[in-house]
Amino acid sequence: MNHLEIVLDTQADLGEGPVWDQRSQQLAWVDIMAHRLNFFDPSTGATQSFDTGAPVGAAVPCASGGYVLALQTGFAHLDTTNGRVEPIACYDGACSEIRMNDGKCDAQGRFWAGTMAFDFRPAAGALYRLDTGPRVSTMLPGVTISNGLDWTLDGRSMYYIDSPTNRIDLFDFDPHSGAIANRRTFVEIDSAAGTPDGMTVDSAGNLWVALWGGSAVRCYSNQGELIRVAEVPASQVTSCSFGGPDLTDLYITSARGGLTPKQLEREPHAGGLFRVRLSTSGRPAHSFAG
């Protein structure tokens, strides 16, 4: 495994959702409870941050410009030219006890994002799909901590993580309708290794999975075989995404919220943004088509 470096010592309370923006050649990621969408330009080292006005679980590029946000209050659009946030659509179950978590766009430009309870109450969340109408559909109820998702190379199956299950699940996926069916276990992760969190699929079809509490990102083949491990100097690893001009830089987010002073002494870079250059490449992120 190549050398891992800390790119930004951001000390994020809950850094999440890295996504590479092909348009600007920048990495975007969120700090959920700080209500921030952040940007990093690796060519200059410049950073920029926007206030989203509410807890933000995920953000994706929008084909018409700006970003679409998965906020606690619903889906919204951020205009990155002036910082204005405008509501797009609400979702069933939106309330003060629930917030959005991880999310991603499929190849057809639909935005998938899920929810969880602030108190981690079992089965209080759901997985939603924002279509370009805009219309929001509840795709999977009874979720506890909706987390990483991505699609196989042929676009016919969807990987999904509800973190407390300690599994990566697989659904049949209909690219035309966006329907999911036939949920089954793809990989089960021993709880001693950490809890599966955010996830991305590379150009070879392998899955890269962040392990909360596991100080690592694991890579599984499309047959479910563990083939690589990237160790991270932070225990609460939240997500990962490929970026850079050739999409061979794996960016990794982390969190420092909830760590004790002693733990922070051992993990001074907890909450930082990390990067490791790999021989494999990722796939360009899909934009919201609306």
Q: What is the predicted pLDDT for the residue at 60? A: 98
Q: How far apart are CA 180 and CA 183, in angstroms?
A: 8
Q: Is the pLDDT of residue 69 over 80?
A: yes
pLDDT tens-digit readout, 254-263: 999 999 999 9
Q: How far apart are CA 229 and CA 81, in angstroms?
A: 39
Residue type present at position 65: G
Q: Is the pLDDT of residue 274 over 70?
A: yes
Q: Which long-range contacts (CB under 8 A, 24 or more apart) does 186-191 make?
A: 186/159, 186/224, 187/220, 187/224, 189/218, 190/166, 191/166
Judge whether 7 and 276 are in contact, CB under 8 Å: no
Residues of the chain with pLDDT > 70, as a percent, come to 99
pLDDT tens-digit readout, 165-216: 999 999 999 999 999 999 999 999 999 999 999 999 999 999 999 999 999 9
For range 159-169, the mean pLDDT? 98
Q: What is the predicted pLDDT for the residue at 43? A: 96
For range 268-275, the mean pLDDT? 98
For range 148-164, the mean pLDDT? 98
Nearest to 276 by CA among 238, 234, 244: 244
Q: What is the predicted pLDDT for the residue at 241? A: 98
Give the 3-state secondary structure of residue 33: helix
Domains in the chain, start-ordered, CATH in brackets? 4-277 (2.120.10.30)
Give the 3-state secondary structure of residue 139: strand
Give the 3-state secondary structure of residue 263: helix
Q: Is the pLDDT of residue 1 over 80?
A: no
Q: Is the pLDDT of residue 2 over 80?
A: no
Task: List active site positions.
Answer: 197
Judge whether 213 and 248 are in contact, CB under 8 Å: no
Give the 3-state secondary structure of residue 264: helix
Those residues with Cβ within 8 angstroms of residue 5's Cβ, 6 or more apart along the chain or in another chain: 274, 275, 276
Q: Would you give the DSSP letter of residue 167?
A: E
Global confidence as pTM: 0.97
Judge whether 110 and 132 are in contact, CB under 8 Å: yes
Judge whether 38 and 51 are in contact, CB under 8 Å: no
Q: Is the pLDDT of residue 31 over 70?
A: yes
Give the 3-state secondary structure of residue 45: coil
Which residue's structure tokens are 């934009």? Answer: 287
Those residues with Cβ within 8 angstroms of residue 87's Cβ, 6 or more apart along the chain or in another chain: 73, 74, 75, 76
Exposed e or buried b per residue across 191-218, where buried means at least 16 C-beta atoms within 10 angstroms of its C-beta: eebbbbbbbbbbeeebbbbbbbebbbbb
Q: What is the predicted pLDDT for the residue at 21? A: 97
Q: Is the pLDDT of residue 158 over 90?
A: yes
